[in-house]
Chain A
Amino acid sequence: METLWPQIEAILARVAKPARYIGGELGACVPEHGDGKVAWLLVYPDTYEIGLPNQGLQILYEILNDREDAVAERSYAPWVDMEAAMRAAGIPFFSLENHLPARAFDLLAFNLSAELVYTNVLNLIDLSGIPLHGADRTGDDPLVVAGGHCTFNPEPLADFVDCFVLGDGEEVVGEITALMRAWQTGTPGTHAPVPGWEQRSRPALLRALSQIAGVYVPSCYEVPPTRPNGADGHGASSGDPGVRPLFPETPARVEKRTLADLGGSPYPRRQLVPLIEVVHDRLNVELFRGCTRGCRFCQAGMVTRPVRERPAAQVRQMVSDGLARTGYDEVALTSLSSADYSGIEGVVTGIVDDPACSGQVAVSLPSLRVDAFTVATAAQIQRVRRTGLTFAPEGGTWRMRQVINKLIREEDLYAAVDAAFGQGWRRVKLYFLVGLPTETDEDTLGIVSLARQCVEIGRRYHKSVSVTASVGGFVPKPQTPFQWFGQNTVEELTRKVRILREAARTVHGLTVRWHDPEATVAEGIVSRGDRRTGAVLEEVWRQGGTFQEWSEHFDFGRWTAALDRVGLTLEEVVYRHRDEHERLPWDHLSAGLHRDFLWQEWMDALAEHGLEDCRWTPCYDCGACTGFGVEHVVASAVPPAGGSQGTGQDLATGGQVPVRFLQPAVGGSDRTAAASRGCPPAAPVPVGTGAGLGT
């Protein structure tokens, strides 16, 4: 198909930030389409600046373009001004490399990282000129696929997306490419035969796709009609999802894909360097995938298990090659909890002391553990451009943090903050959640007490200090222990924010920032929605509701009106507690976690029992390792200084966990001995509890 560039160029002068639509980034691949090559359009359904740095999309872009049988281009959601100009000029959604229309591709693949972008997905399918509903598409339409964390409950998008990929995408994109090519040429694939294959029928393609491990094809399943308030789910505790595959070769339960050997698989070598400023505008190097801290609210930590570290030598190689190639002067060592990487100090010291970096390269750890030890590391690596430090205690009281299993004691936080101010930082940011299970006003107000104490600690070092408490509203996520919890109402979240702001008003130096409670609840509608939610999304989109992550475009009224129209209520979809036996919309999809493990965790949460990190302590049999025959891959048998939660507390005990070491373990290879020796807490920085401490 012909490039759309002449038509696109003609409208660029009339839109904001035209560089969003021209491509030309360093690392971009302008592929040659041709016979025998399956063409993927990889789409991040938010703005260019948000989407470009996405590492998942970039990894797949590189893998696909390295294949003989595939080409991949990228695109992002055009901002509202560009979309209007495109629709007025009759220009469809297009790719950034060759500026080809989306319909010129065989697959339109969306990255789903957040629920509020779903209406953008609908909009982009429509802007592509592809029928909105999967049921209306023919063999001539591109296949619409989606991956990313949100696919662990794909039901709200089941009407619009032909197939979803659960878990790591590195391997499965190749399998889908091969199957697509076989279907296009009418040659037999490796799948069980399906009727209509030789005729290139679309149902045959979908039915064959449903046989690929980790691929969920909604149209290959029969979903029983949903009765209100979970009334049809009783008796499902045996694990029967109620959803039935329509074909014998389609699995009854789709298990996620897990890349067992992260270090051994291709790593990104050509990170995209944009021409305009984007978020996370720096070299990003992934240290490890997965997290077993076990924070019960955290979907990412639950669905990406087990922990798989890259070898340190590979990390160093990625950093030095990446800096030389990109010209960036900042590198972020990314992971769900980067400071937990075995030998993190060695890696960061290596970067900072590398003469090639000439002292100008800043290193950032996006997720700091809350302890003084981590701050010391941070001080060493942030010799240049020291801005602010961020910690995430998440809960305001020790009781609350036991419920959510974020086992940070006040002393740990104060020691960390003391070390931060002592090392010269003036600004500290603290992340909290409100609307957590069992939360009382004492817990909510505990946020201000903690933050006030942090301000007082800072005053011992500096005249003027700034502490920001950033408060998000909690949204229960599928495949987590809190998936049964009835989310706080808009009114309750608003009240909690109000009492926080009132309490913080008298604390000089403390700023409270909060997330819009209405946006939190809108996210909740989609997070645990079933197939009926698709009609809600469609209605919100039809009323003009795109870019719902952007406060200037978010309108809660559209969401409540759409619920009304579809015959759903916030009470049923968002606010209601689910019970043990209710059938959940994602019961036929598995992130590897046993349902009874999650339920036990939910019960433990309500009983305020914490659970230690299983990387360095015995296994709780969540299912992530054993179910896939994989293991944690860590380089050290010894938890980081400060103990397995950074606190050195003696928590639960259990059986043996399968752990494979990258190198001979330091201090003996006997796991149990290493664990039972225990690790003393980080050398405590003396901190008085102070008079202002309210908890």
Chain B
Amino acid sequence: MWERALRRAGLPIAYTGGFSPRPQLAFGPALPTGCESLAEYVDVVLDDGRPETTELDAGRTAGLAGGFLPAGIDIMAARVVDPRIASVQADVTSCRWEMSFVGLSRDELGERIDRFLAAPSVPILRERKGREELDDLRPSVLAIALSDPRGIRVDGGTPAGPVELVADLATRPRGVRPVEVTRALCAVSPVPGGGTVRAGEGGTLVLDRARRTQQWIERDGLRREPLEVGVPPAGSGRAVHALERAS
């Protein structure tokens, strides 16, 4: 989709060599199917050998490409980066997610979160290259809490409308997906046999929506986003970090 949009925009994208040339695009951590996002990043390498490249800056590149993307995908910011710096994929250490659930009341979900945080380890089964492996999800969930309760009506402790939480999920060693957090929250339930949870939503907790709101690069104790929205593009290099916002 990006390749075709950039070609439609007529941008001088750089290609890899060899018998099977591909456009040089590098995306950040993949967005799981069915999830929304307000924070996706892509590195686009332009061809220095093409005269059009010299006439482009980050803003113009983003403006050109933005007009050719499908509805719902907008470029929010772009910046020229030094081609020697690490890719978004390699740099991002965690992502912030907003998740909403149905099936449990706010209090019940809060109790599950407390149990999860108190547990020394929360093993879940994951499929990897066709084999099932037991992973501990606990260390990869850096933070998790109920969101501000505004706008959520809770009627005498019974579930009424979705309950929302915010979580910071690590991308290493493996990216944690919202559906896995759901399974982990089920796994800590006092329901018999709830030690290890296989596929599916499990319990009575159902993930209604998941939205990635931020990607974080944490280095030397400092946390920042790959690209500040609203920062004017500057400099002149080869690669452009584009921040894409999907609504």
Contact = CB atoms under 8 A, between A and B. Distances in A.
Interface of A: 12-13, 17-18, 24, 26, 273, 275, 324-329, 360, 384-386
Nearest to B13: A360
B3 interface: yes
B34 A18 contact: yes
Contacts of B68: 327
B109 to A, nearest CB: 18
B112 to A, nearest CB: 20
Interface in B1-51: 1, 3-8, 15, 19-21, 33-34
A384 B34 CA distance: 35
A17 B33 contact: yes
Interface in B59-106: 68, 70-72
B124 to A, nearest CB: 19
Nearest to B12: A358
Contacts of B21: 360, 384-385
Contact of B7 (A18, A24, A275, A327): A327
A385 B19 CA distance: 5
Among B1, B3, B68, B208, find the residue whose CB has the most chain A CB atoms closer than 10 A: B1
A26 B15 contact: no
A385 B20 contact: yes
A655 B141 CA distance: 82
A465 B3 CA distance: 32
Contact of A325 (B8, B19, B33, B72): B8
Q: How large is the interface on B (under 10, 10 to 19, 20 to 34, 35 or more residues)?
A: 20 to 34
Contacts of B6: 327
Nearest to A273: B4
A329 B34 contact: no
Pairs A-B, 6 closest by C-beta atoms: A327-B4, A327-B8, A327-B7, A13-B34, A385-B20, A24-B70
A270 to B, nearest CB: 13
Contacts of A18: 33-34
Contacts of A327: 3-8, 68
A85 to B, nearest CB: 13
What is the predominant secondary structure among interface residues of chain A facing chain B? loop
8 contacts: A13-B207, A18-B34, A24-B70, A26-B70, A273-B4, A327-B7, A384-B20, A386-B19
A327 B8 CA distance: 5
Nearest to A26: B70
Contacts of B15: 360
Contacts of B72: 24
Contacts of A325: 8
A275 B1 CA distance: 6
Contacts of A329: 3, 7
A88 to B, nearest CB: 14
B4 A24 contact: no
Nearest to B209: A13
Nearest to A382: B19
Contacts of B4: 26, 273, 326-328
Contacts of B33: 17-18
Given A360-B15, A360-B21, A385-B19, 9 more contacts: A26-B4, A26-B70, A327-B3, A327-B4, A327-B7, A327-B8, A329-B7, A384-B19, A385-B21
Nearest to B15: A360
B24 to A, nearest CB: 12
A13 B178 CA distance: 12
B105 to A, nearest CB: 21
Contacts of A26: 4, 70
Among B5, B6, B8, B71, find the residue whose CB has the most chain A CB atoms closer than 10 A: B8
Contacts of B208: 13
B8 A324 contact: yes
Among A13, A326, A384, find the residue whose CB has the most chain B CB atoms closer than 10 A: A13
Nearest to A326: B4
Nearest to B2: A327
B1 A326 contact: no
A4 B34 CA distance: 18
Contacts of B8: 324-327
Contacts of A275: 1, 70
Contacts of A17: 33
Among A18, A26, A385, find the residue whose CB has the most chain B CB atoms closer than 10 A: A26
A384 B20 CA distance: 6
B108 to A, nearest CB: 21
Contacts of B5: 327
Nearest to B1: A275
A328 B8 CA distance: 8
Contacts of A385: 19-21
A12 B34 contact: yes
A499 to B, nearest CB: 34
Nearest to B8: A327
A409 to B, nearest CB: 32
Contacts of B1: 275
A12 B34 CA distance: 7
B110 to A, nearest CB: 23
A325 B20 CA distance: 23
A12 B72 CA distance: 17
Interface string B182-199: 000000000000000000
Contacts of B7: 327-329
Contacts of A273: 4
Nearest to A383: B19
B164 to A, nearest CB: 16
B189 to A, nearest CB: 21
Contacts of B34: 12-13, 18
Nearest to B4: A327
B240 to A, nearest CB: 18
A18 B207 CA distance: 16
A695 to B, nearest CB: 35
Nearest to A323: B7
A325 B72 CA distance: 20
Contacts of A324: 8
A275 B5 CA distance: 11
A13 to B, nearest CB: 4
Nearest to B73: A275
A360 B70 CA distance: 23
A166 B3 CA distance: 39
Among A18, A273, A325, find the residue whose CB has the most chain B CB atoms closer than 10 A: A273
A27 to B, nearest CB: 11
A359 B15 CA distance: 11
A501 to B, nearest CB: 26
Nearest to A276: B1
A616 B173 CA distance: 66
Contacts of B20: 384-385
A339 to B, nearest CB: 23
Contacts of B70: 24, 26, 275
Contacts of A384: 19-21
A385 B15 CA distance: 13
A360 B19 CA distance: 11
A327 B20 CA distance: 17
Nearest to B20: A385
A385 B22 CA distance: 9
A329 B3 CA distance: 9
B14 to A, nearest CB: 11
B140 to A, nearest CB: 22
A527 to B, nearest CB: 38
A314 to B, nearest CB: 22
A384 B6 CA distance: 19
B131 to A, nearest CB: 21
A668 to B, nearest CB: 43
Nearest to B71: A24
A273 B20 CA distance: 22
Nearest to A327: B4
Nearest to A277: B1
A273 B33 CA distance: 20
B74 to A, nearest CB: 14
Interface in B187-222: 207-209
B18 to A, nearest CB: 10
A18 B33 CA distance: 8
A273 B3 CA distance: 12
